[in-house]
Structure 1
C-alpha cells in the first residue's frame, strides 16, 4: 500500500513536470520565480544584510545565465495569452530587441560569475539587475 502510494506520488510529480515543460507560460513563470529568489538573496548580500558568500554569488549568476539562455524560446506565438501571463505584446512585436535584452542579461550574468569580492559582486549584481528592470519596463504588463 505504501509502495503504491509512493509510485503514484512519483508519477504525479513526473506528470506535473512534463505538463510544465509543455507549457511555456508555466516554464517562464518558474524561471522568473527562480530569478526573483536569486535577486532577493543577492540584494541582501549587496546591502550587507547577509554576508558575502562567493559560492552563493556564483549560484545567483548561474541562475541568471540559465534563465537568460532559456527565456527567449519560451515565448512562442501560442503563449501570447492565458496562464495569467504578464508578457506584453511588445515581446512578439519586437523579437529582436527582446532577444537582445536576454543576450545582454546573459553576458552580464557570465561576467558576474567570476566575482570574488563584495565590491565586485555589487558592481556585477547591479549591472545584471539593471537588465531586469529595463526588460520589465518594455516587455511586461504592469499590474
Structure 2
C-alpha cells in the first residue's frame, strides 16, 4: 500500500510538472515571437524615420516576420497559460478568443499584402503605419500594461 501511495504521489508530481512545462513553453514561445516582432518593428521604425536607409528587402522581411507571428500566436494561448512566466497576456484573450484570433487574422492578412505591395519608402511608411496601429489596438485590448 505504501508503495502504491508513493507511486501515485510521484505520478501526480510528474503530471503537475508536465503541465507547468507546457504552460511555460507556450509563454516562452509567445515571448520569443514577440521579441522578433519587436526587432522587426525597430528596423521598420528606423527606415520610416530615416535613421536607417530604406531597403526594400528589409521592408518585406519586416512584414514577413509580422505575418509569421500573426499566424503562430493564436495557437500559443492554451487555457493553462493564462498566468505564470511573467506573462502580460490579459484575461480578455480567453474571454474573447474569437476577437483575439480575428485581430491576428487581420494582421496576418495585411502583413502578407504589404509583402507584395511595398515598393518604396512611401508605400512602406503607409503599410508600416497601418501595422503599427493594428499592433497597438491589439495590445490595448489584449495585453496587461506594466
Please report the TM-score for the alignment, with normalisation by the length of structure 2: 0.82
- The correspondence for 1:78, drawn from 80, 90, 113, is 80
- The correspondence for 1:127, drawn from 126, 130, 134, is 130
> Displacement of 1:108 after TM fit?
1.3
The reply on whether 1:49 has 2:51 as its aligned counterpart is yes
Contact 1:35–1:67 (CA<8 Å) still a contact in 2?
yes
- The correspondence for 2:99, drawn from 86, 97, 100, is 97
Residue 11 of structure 1 corresponds to none
Alpha-carbon distance in 2 for matches of 1:118, 1:87:
33
> Displacement of 1:112 after TM fit?
1.2
Contact 1:111–1:124 (CA<8 Å) still a contact in 2?
no
Contact 1:62–1:113 (CA<8 Å) still a contact in 2?
yes
> Displacement of 1:128 after TM fit?
1.0
Contact 1:54–1:117 (CA<8 Å) still a contact in 2?
yes
Where in structure 2 are the equivalents of 1:106-125 lying within 5 Å? 106-114=108-116, 115-125=118-128
- Root mean square deviation, CA, Å: 1.6
Larger Rg: 2
Moved segments of 4+, more than 4 Å: none
> Displacement of 1:129 after TM fit?
1.3
Q: How many residue pairs end up in the alignment?
A: 125
Where in structure 2 are the equivalents of 1:1-80 lying within 5 Å? 23-80=25-82
- The correspondence for 2:140, drawn from 113, 137, 140, is 137
Question: Unmatched 5+ residue regions in structure 1?
Answer: 1-18
- SS of equivalent residue, structure 2 residue 122: helix
Structure 1 residues 75-105: Cα deviation after superposition (integer angstroms, max 9, x where no partner): 0001001000000000000001100110111
Question: Unmatched 5+ residue regions in structure 2?
Answer: 1-20
